[in-house]
Amino acid sequence: MAHLYAALLDRPDLQLVNAKHETGAAFMALGYSMATGRPGVVFTTAGPGITNTLTGLASAHLEGVPVVHIAGEVPRASFGRGALQEGSASGLDAVSLARRMTKFSAQISRPGSAAATLRKALSTAYSGRRGPAFLSLPLDVASAPASTAQVAGHVQSSFEIDAEGCRRAMELLGGARRPMILAGAGARDVTSRRALRRLAERIGSPVAVTTKGKGIFPEDHPLYLGLFGFGGHETVIEYLSSGVDVLLVCGSGLNDFSTNAWSPLLKAGKTFIQIDIDAAQLGRNYAIDIGLVGPIDAVLSRMSEHRIERTLATESHWTGPRYQPSEPSPSGALTTAEVVQTMNSCCPNDSVFTADMGEHLAVALHYLRVRDEGDFVTCLGFGSMGSGICAAIGYQLGAPQRRTFAICGDGGFLMYGAELATAVQHGAATTFVIINDSRFNMVHHGIRDLYGASPDFSTQVIDFSGIARAVGAAGQIIHTRDELVSALAAPVSGPLVLDVRVDPDARLAGSQRVAALRQFQEDPLG
């Protein structure tokens, strides 16, 4: 890869971010891509550089985010000879390893094909449902002169939207007495969000979101019903329990965390409509009546072209999401719910929030209120710890004008906190709100919920604010709400670590807290 790094000397307009670990680099590239719409590019060495990146590539693949990974490889003359870090087809076979978690995986085998192969990788990453691409670059190819020939033409995917299906779907929604829209991560882009809001307002339908879709619909909008799935709101359960005649699902594959463990409540008395850019998602987990293939914004816009004759008055028996009461800790310590609720009142309206994996995730999904100008990111497609920490840095680098807050646990920060040094080095003013309960709390509570007791998953009490100062970031230990309010209100010029000490036993309850976990104890075939 030395030759590629040397080539960057001729491109001072490109920013080189030196991550501390390849997995962290991939998650940062994912966050950058989500912030900008441009591909995040990762350079790594061969062998372990590739395998360390695979977790991030898998997450990008399941989130539908275009990330390009270019990895080094031993010279072609060494293929099959057991060279150090060899990833040829006779060794590790890196191209095959990456193929299962990317949209495109190939080796650049000749200098003359480098430009065309890279263009193909980018075109594939951006066509249809977006995703990552992997390129293997042998050392001798990387050091050879490349062709200067211009590759002309532009590859673009297009969808022929079913006009009749859109008309029928709109007619049914317009005549529905109790419609509901469920929005997933496939509607995350700005144009899809706007199209979704216009449609919901036109038909007067309440909108619920999935766990990955949180933030797609403004949570201060009068049509917002709440979140369905892990950490969700009982208002959605109650609305579904009272019956839905027409259900519209936009951009969700309806996995277990997004459906409260594939709840039978998610059904329609009359018509189930599903829209997705990936035809393989249609009807995958629930029987549907109408399936519409295409980008969410294009399909919703085509639907909105049709007039609707309002013959039935939509029954409006909802008042927005109902949040669980936040109980104080018996010890007087902060609770995770209090931390998130404080962030609601102190963080700017256009804040970007990321939530890493852990007990705090359910709390953030439930209590955090993402406004129209804001965004929320959690990588629940693969559910990797550390994804929210590193994605927050990448998002901040891609959108430096916005405040990015990474809500994470002490366990996740122990895994990926080294990337704090990367944030310091590159001036990413990310605020890390570490929910420090001094144990792997989601594992502890999950096992105790299932089996009545748990092994010891505690860790020693760690001063993350001290670690922050050691690498050049600002850090503060937080014990009270007043301290948290003051810390969140203070101006930042670089990374800030808030080591928030919380009661580890104060947690979110409710039917949607454990349903997705309990399914793993049950025999689905029994």
Q: Using the predicted structure, report yes or no on whether residue 208 has a pLDDT greater than 80.
A: yes
Structure token digits, residue 68: 């390009």
Place of tokens 């420090």: 436
Give the mean pLDDT of 77-91: 89
Contact between 435 and 429 (Cβ < 8 Å)? no
| DSSP character at residue 68 | E
**Tell me, what's the pLDDT at 525?**
45
Residue 494 makes CB contacts below 8 A (sequence gap 6+) with: 423, 424, 427, 428, 429, 472, 473, 474
CATH class, range 2-142: alpha beta
CATH class, range 336-516: alpha beta
Percent of the chain with pLDDT over 90: 73
**Tell me, what's the pLDDT at 315?**
59
3-state DSSP percent of the chain in helix, strand and coil, to 5: 40, 15, 45
**Tell me, what's the pLDDT at 316?**
60
82: left (phi over 0), alpha (psi -120 to 50) or beta: left
**Tell me, what's the pLDDT at 520?**
47
Q: Using the predicted structure, report yes or no on whether residue 372 has a pLDDT greater than 90.
A: no
> CA end-to-end span of the chain, whole Å?
52
Residue 101 makes CB contacts below 8 A (sequence gap 6+) with: 54, 57, 58, 61, 132
Domain ranges for the chain, please list them: 2-142, 163-304, 336-516
| Domain 336-516 in the same topology as domain 2-142 | yes
CATH class, range 163-304: alpha beta
Contact between 466 and 472 (Cβ < 8 Å)? no
Which segments of 127-242 does DSSP mark as H helices, in order?
Answer: 139-142, 163-174, 190-203, 234-241
SS3 208: strand
pLDDT in tens, 1-16: 788 888 888 888 988 9
Of 156 and 173, the one with more pLDDT:
173
Give the mean pLDDT of 244-264: 92
d(CA 246, CA 323): 26
The pTM of the full predicted model, rounded to 2 decimals, is 0.93
Bridge partner residues of 337 (DSSP): none
Give the mean pLDDT of 13-38: 95
Distance of CA 502 to the CA centre of its chain: 25
Q: How confident is the model at residue 514 (pLDDT cuts 50, 70, 90)?
A: low
pLDDT in tens, 464-473: 999 999 999 9
